Amino acid sequence: MCIVVVLAYVWRDVAARSRAITELARTNSELAKRLAERTIERDDVARDEALTELARTNAVLAQRLAERTVERDDVARDDASTELARTNAELKQRLAERTIERDDVARDDAIAELARTNAELKQRLAERTVERDDAARDDAIAELARTNAELKQRLAERTVERDDVARDDAIAELARTNAELKQRLAERTIERDDVARDDASTELARTNTELRERLAENTIERDDVARDDAAVELARTNLEHEYLVRELEREHRASTAFQEAALPSRMPTIPGMRFMAIYQAAKAEALVGGDWYDAFRLDDGRIVLSIGDVMGSGLLAAVTMGAVRQAMRGAAQILAEPIEILDAADRVLRSEQPDGIVTAFVAVLDPITLIMTYASAGHPPPLLRSATGEITALSGSGLPLGLRAIQTYPPEIPRAVCLDTSSLIVLYTDGLIEATRDIAAGEASVVEALGSIDVWNAENPAAAISDHVLEEVVDDVAILSIRIDCAEVSVTRPAGVKDRDARWTFDANDPYAARDARREIVAVLRDWGATDSDTGLTELVFSELLGNVVRHCSETAEFALDVSGDAPILHVLDRGPGFTYNARLPKDIMSDSGRGLFIVRSLISDLNITRRADGGSHARAVLPFTIRARGRHRPRTQARLAIETIATDVSSGKPAMSSAASATALAASLNPVSSTMRAPTKSQRSGSARPTSP
């Protein structure tokens, strides 16, 4: 009887367990099908039905387990119930948050978690029942194999189809884990060995974590499609980079060529003065900029110096630099005043580059008087060093080019400085003092270099300063140096000639001193190959300019003859009130004045009269012949006619009707060209001509 009762209980237990497993498999199959078809997220009713069905199934399963299976093991039942409650809560929370339908990774995690929970429940059921029933164990193994097959199919369909490497790794890892679990179940060691069971659980958790990580990472190196896309994108980017590099190199070559063409090819040759310059382009990832320097000689003997920096870099900056530099050159030929030159360049810049900004410094140096007038347009101040070592900054207050039109305060006035016969001037751009990003330290370094004896005695002071100050060329740098050493060198003669300066200072009212000065001027011109016509025209110009000094200026006249250029230049300096020249005839045709300078201007190449910074006027008459070339320009016919007419009027005793005629008559009466009058002795003279230093 006992045996029958026991068999009845066993039969009922086996039947209940089989039904529970079957119902669980069916429910899992339905849930998996719904998740695979992705209908839960689109149908709230279906989701509610799934939740209801899940709750009902769980209740039936819990009831059956409590009735026949788990009633013998309180601990296993409690663990199973706790795990079942936790899993249900997590699934309900995920379904409520509606994240599974938006996130493939979350869906895969849900599927993996469901599979893990099923595996754990099946394992616990197997721990208590498999050892008593081989048939139940085989069913559990079959169910586990079926579930694994479904899981593999789902992974292959939704997760691993995009990543061949990750899919193969996941399948291999899953096969290895399943083999290990099957081996342990077959050996019936899991239920007898707590340590082995814990190891199996830990290994299963680790495997699931690694699988989720690999599926979630979905990185480019494991994805052929993404890797190919990345390779294509990289190739395209490399092509664009190579094209950009070629374009930058082409622009750099064009900018360099333009810069070299725009900078002066040679420096002026002035006796007693040495002009040296250096230009260095930035070496680190920078195109050629708009820095420049310039020095050129005007027809009247004055030297125009300029240096500047265009904001920006590249071909546009180089083109702007060339336009501004040429505008300064053109303006200097018309009116050699620093402020006027800067204003003209400002108008050119605003017409061509309205948004352009340029800093510049312009100076006009007179080699005869060694007076330099200058003005600045927002540029770093040049430095002047004397022979004693004193260093002076030539500062200015003007706005940069491009901004001078908006100036609201009184405009800048030109400044002047009288240079020593031995001095050094250094003009530079901001790249020299901004190399260390500390302007104050850069300026101090330049001053220190200029004060050194090495720079003072250097053949090229500009290069010496660059070597002393710059360790690395960060920005474009232009440096222009002017070394003046005319204490023992004639500035009115060609370079290399040791003759004294051709200068004469005398009392303008002393006819004998004036005659001696005129004779010596003619003698100098003849020594350099001037013809009689050339010297006759020079005498006429000398007489008119001297008469202008006698009538309008002061008692002392200073003459200088500059033959250092192609055409001789006659300079006349006085200490009168100062005036400027206006090349127009007087409105009153009967006026006995106002025609002399007009006649002189008509006979010579150029006449320029400016006010001296230290008082008085400075007239520069460029004579219309060349003294070096054999094929000299002959004076115009009207010049010879004017000389002959004036000489005839004087010899016939006719009264002069103009200041030019009266001045020429005075010169003719002192020493006419055809006169044989003997020169007076020194005791008869009230004054004498004497050479003077500048």
Examine the domain organization and report whether 178 and 314 are in the same domain. Answer: no
For residue 200, how many other CB atoms are within 10 A of its CB? Answer: 19
DSSP reduced 3-state for 38 = coil
| Contact residues for 607 (Cβ-Cβ < 8 A; gap 6+) | 581, 583, 597, 600, 601, 619, 620, 621, 622
Does residue 376 sit in the same domain as residue 447? yes
pLDDT for the residue 371: 93
Confirm if 128 and 138 have CB atoms less than 8 A apart: no
pLDDT of residue 646: 38
pLDDT at 366: 94
What is the predicted pLDDT for the residue at 597?
81
**pLDDT for the residue 614:** 79
Closest CA to 270 of 559, 493, 499: 493
* Mean pLDDT in residue range 355-369: 94
Nearest to 313 by CA among 280, 350, 342, 282: 282
Distance CA 268, CA 94 (A): 89
Tell me how far CA of residue 528 lies from CA of 300, 315, 484, 567, in angstroms: 19, 47, 25, 11
Q: Are 292 and 261 in contact (CB under 8 A)?
A: no
HSE of 465, CA atoms in CB hemisphere, 13 A: 35
Structure confidence at residue 690 (pLDDT): 35
| CA-wise closest residue to 663 among 546, 564, 567 | 546
pLDDT band for position 217 (cuts 50, 70, 90): low
Compute the distance between CA of residue 360 and CA of residue 376 in angstroms, rounded to an integer. Answer: 6
Residue 459, both tokens: 């053949």
- Identify whether 520 is part of a domain: yes
Q: Does 321 lie in the same domain as 276?
A: yes
Residues 27, 53 contacting (CB under 8 angstroms) = yes
- Higher-pLDDT residue of 145 and 432 is 432
**C-alpha closest to that of 446 among 467, 422, 473, 423:** 467
- From 222, 237, 266, the end of a domain falls on 222
pLDDT surpassing 90 at residue 188: no
**194 and 297 assigned to the same domain:** no
Region at 338 (left for phi over 0; alpha for psi -120 to 50; beta for the rest): alpha
The answer as to whether 492 is a domain residue is: no
Are the CB atoms for 402 and 307 separated by under 8 Å?
no
- Of 151, 146, 198, 204, the residue nearest 180 (C-alpha): 204
Length of the chain: 694
**Domain assignment of residue 249, yes or no:** no
Task: Please give the distance of CA 652 from its chain centroid, rounded to a whole number.
Answer: 76
Range of the domain at 48: 2-222
The region that residue 312 occupies, defined by phi over 0 for left and psi between -120 and 50 for alpha, beta otherwise, is: left
In this structure, the answer to whether residues 640 and 674 fall within a common structural domain is yes
Q: How many domains does the chain have?
A: 3
Q: Are residues 299 and 346 in the same domain?
A: yes
CA dist list (Å): 545 to 2, 271, 515, 592, 596: 157, 26, 14, 16, 8
**Average of per-residue pLDDT across 347-360:** 92
Quick one: pLDDT band at residue 196, thresholds 50, 70, 90? low
The CA distance from 669 to 149, in Å, is 135
The CATH number linked to 471 is 3.60.40.10
Q: Is residue 59 located within the same domain as residue 90?
A: yes
User: Alpha helices, DSSP H only, in 335-460?
Assistant: 338-352, 439-451, 453-456
Q: How far is CA 590 from the centre of its chain?
A: 65
Mean of the pLDDT values across residues 554-582?
A: 85
pLDDT of residue 192: 52
Average pLDDT over residues 187-210: 64
Rounded to whole angstroms, the Cα distance separating 570 from 499 reads 17
Please state, in angstroms and rounded to a whole number, the distance separating the CA atoms of residues 245 and 689: 70
Q: Report the half-sphere exposure of 613 (CA within 13 A, side-chain side).
A: 17
Shared domain check, 182 and 269: no
Q: Is residue 494 part of a domain?
A: no
- pLDDT of 318 higher than 50: yes
Domain shared by 276 and 415, yes or no: yes
**Are 499 and 287 contacting, i.e. CB atoms less than 8 angstroms apart?**
no
132, two tokens: 């008593």
Enter the tokens of residue 143. 């169910």
pLDDT of residue 657: 38
Spatial separation of the C-alpha atoms in residues 367 and 572, rounded to whole Å: 14
d(CA 209, CA 635) in angstroms, rounded, equals 107
CATH number at 553 reads 3.30.565.10
d(CA 80, CA 357): 83
Alpha-carbon span 623 to 535, nearest angstrom: 10
The pLDDT of residue 96 is: 64
pLDDT exceeds cutoff 80 at 43: no
Residues 106 and 205 in one domain: yes
DSSP single-letter state for residue 379: P
Q: Looking at the structure, do residues 201 and 310 belong to the same domain, yes or no?
A: no
pLDDT higher than threshold 60 for residue 630:
no
Q: Which two tokens stand for residue 458?
A: 């250097």
Q: Indicate if the pLDDT at residue 693 is higher than 50.
A: no
- Give the residue among 302, 692, 303, 299 at the shortest CA–CA distance from 501: 692
In terms of domains, do 399 and 262 share one? Answer: yes
pLDDT in tens, 631-641: 334 433 334 43
More confident residue, 411 or 658: 411
The mean per-residue pLDDT over the stretch 363-373 comes to: 94
Give φ, ψ of 485 to 5 degrees: -150, 70
Domain boundary among 485, 518, 553: 485
Burial of 152 (0-12, 13-18, 19+ CB in 10 A): middle
Q: Is 246 within the bounds of a domain?
A: no
Sheet with 391-393, side-by-side order of all strands: 273-280, 477-485, 422-428, 383-386, 391-393
Does residue 356 form part of some domain? yes
- Within-domain flag for 615: yes
Last residue of a domain, one of 198, 222, 246: 222
**98-112, 254-268, 493-507: least confidently modelled range:** 98-112
One-letter-per-residue 3-state SS of 600-628: HHHHCCEEEEEECCCCCEEEEEECCCCCC
C-alpha dihedral, 447 to 448 to 453 to 456, nearest 10°: -20
* Over residues 370-377, mean pLDDT: 94
Nearest alpha carbon to residue 493 among 628, 681, 643: 628
Residue among 207, 121, 217, 243 nearest 165 (CA)? 217
Looking at the domain assignment, is residue 229 inside a domain?
Answer: no
257: three-class secondary structure by DSSP: helix
